[in-house]
A and B are shown apart, each in its own frame.
Chain A
Amino acid sequence: MKNKSLVSITDFSKSDYLKILDLAESYERKPVSELLTGKVIATLFFEPSTRTRLSFESAVNRMGGRIIGFSDSSSSSVTKGETLYDTINVVSNYCDLIVMRHPLEGSARFASEIATVPVINAGDGANQHPTQTLLDLYSIKKTQGKLDDLTLFMVGDLKYGRTVHSLLMAMSQFNTTFHFISPEELKMPEEYKILLRTLGLKYHEHKDYTDIITEADIIYMTRVQKERFSDPIEYERTKNAYVLKNKMLTHTKENLKILHPLPRVNEIDQDVDVNPKAYYFTQVLNGVYIRQAIISSILGLC
């Protein structure tokens, strides 16, 4: 993994993921180190994403590294009309690693081709967000004690949600049984179902929550985004139809955990938060360990 950019979840192999997960576990036990002393990490956020940026910056700080960068493009030379090509060429000279968030899809792949230092994709439009997927894997492994043979429910916007697509691709390597709960217009795209069929994995599609959720080891919730609907009334109706409430969890498995990439709107009722099966806030903390693991692996420091 040394000096290799992480642009898409498919850039790393299954054994790479597993190594990163093990490493994240060691950072969870001992988060503070001086591994990154003398290293400069650039965080280039061409669109704001406070949560992701702070998670990366926290990871760097805990390992004693320094950060340069910007948190939205209005405070960068983009406003002067500079191309991404030029920005990356320039910034490559200032740092050992680039973490980039950009609104355009494919921007991270392009940056990784130009940069003389490795690039970590912190989200390129609706395309990829691989560090989110790795932290989801870490959360699943940590709460279930394994990744193999689990039953994973995905709920909400399965059509446009990049996090569910990347997680599906990653989990498809671990003999997972999938259940998809979504409105008709936000169903899992055919290409992912083809992938699962090719791999001989089971998947089931549902329009509503039913007792079937008692089979779940993991429920992965996503936000139904307003901009996906042309009709605001339809949005309200759909949004409210997929709310997960605490009483629905009564007969679910002991080991069930509910994950959400956050931010949530109303798809998980606040009354779920007190249930020990709610895991989304701890999931955020796991993001710091996983990013420590990714950064130190790519810089070849572990």
Chain B
Amino acid sequence: MKDKILEVSAIENGTVIDHIPPKAFFKVIAILRLEKLDNQMTLGTNLDSKKLGKKAIVKLSDIFFPDKDINKIALVAPQAKLNIIKNYDVVEKRVVEIPDDIVGIVKCMNPKCITNSEKIVTRFKVVSKKEVTLKCLYCEKITDQDNMEVI
């Protein structure tokens, strides 16, 4: 009999990012620049989840992100959970935290901002972490969660 269940296999060593909202899935991939990596990875989205209804999950073999890199995904997936896997065991569980400063991930929503017309790495100060709100260090205008576009 054919096994009809496609299993998302466990990884030996690496990072599992769970509880990603499906609408943030591709943004998470973009923020972590996964397209640049040669490692084995399993990516799944619109999977059933008791907590979120639907969720996405990312399993990355032999990849361990420094805090400052992984925290970037908090902008789009604040409820994401990290499991650090060593030798098939979860050795550490972490939540992501929104950093105080955001450098080079988000586009400033102000069309008249200089960062949208010259080649400039965008820089924002996080003014609110609850409803993520960013203040551009250049034009001093606010980019809110609904208008946040990941570069």
Contact = CB atoms under 8 A, between A and B. Distances in A.
B88 interface: no
A103 B112 contact: yes
A125 interface: yes
Interface in A54-107: 83-85, 102-107
B114 to A, nearest CB: 4
Contact of A105 (B112, B119, B120): B112
A84 B140 contact: no
B114 A110 contact: yes
A127 B113 CA distance: 10
Nearest to A128: B140
A70 to B, nearest CB: 19
A248 interface: no
A84 B112 contact: no
A109 interface: yes
Contacts of B140: 8, 105-106, 127-128
Interface in A123-148: 124-128
Given A110-B118, A110-B120, A105 B137 contact: no
Contacts of B115: 106, 110
B9 to A, nearest CB: 47
A120 B115 CA distance: 19
B104 to A, nearest CB: 15
A107 B114 contact: yes
Contacts, number: 50
A106 B138 contact: yes
A90 to B, nearest CB: 15
B112 A125 contact: yes
A215 to B, nearest CB: 32
A106 B114 contact: yes
Contacts of A103: 112
A126 B112 CA distance: 9
Contacts of B112: 103-105, 125-126
Contacts of B86: none
Contact of B138 (A83, A85, A109, A126): A109
Interface residues of A, number: 17
Contacts of B113: 104-106
A104 B141 contact: no
B110 interface: yes
A281 B9 CA distance: 77
Given A125-B112, A126-B112, A105 B118 contact: no
Given A125-B112, A126-B112, A105 B141 contact: yes
Contacts of B108: 106
B136 interface: yes
Contacts of B117: 104
B125 to A, nearest CB: 12
A110 B122 CA distance: 11
User: Could you say which of B114, B119, B139 has the most chain A C-beta atoms within 10 Å of its C-beta?
Assistant: B114
Interface string A142-183: 000000000000000000000000000000000000000000
A161 to B, nearest CB: 15
Interface in B98-151: 108, 110, 112-115, 117-120, 136-141
Interface string B28-72: 000000000000000000000000000000000000000000000
A20 B45 CA distance: 59
Contact of A85 (B119, B136, B137, B141): B119
Interface of B: 108, 110, 112-115, 117-120, 136-141
Given A104-B112, A106-B139, A109-B138, 16 more contacts: A85-B118, A85-B119, A104-B139, A105-B138, A105-B140, A105-B141, A106-B113, A106-B136, A106-B137, A106-B138, A106-B140, A110-B115, A110-B118, A125-B112, A127-B139, A128-B140
- By Cβ-Cβ distance, the 4 closest A-B pairs, closest first, are A106-B138, A105-B139, A106-B139, A106-B114
17 contacts: A83-B118, A102-B114, A104-B113, A104-B114, A104-B117, A105-B110, A106-B108, A106-B113, A106-B115, A106-B139, A107-B138, A109-B137, A109-B138, A110-B118, A125-B139, A127-B139, A128-B140
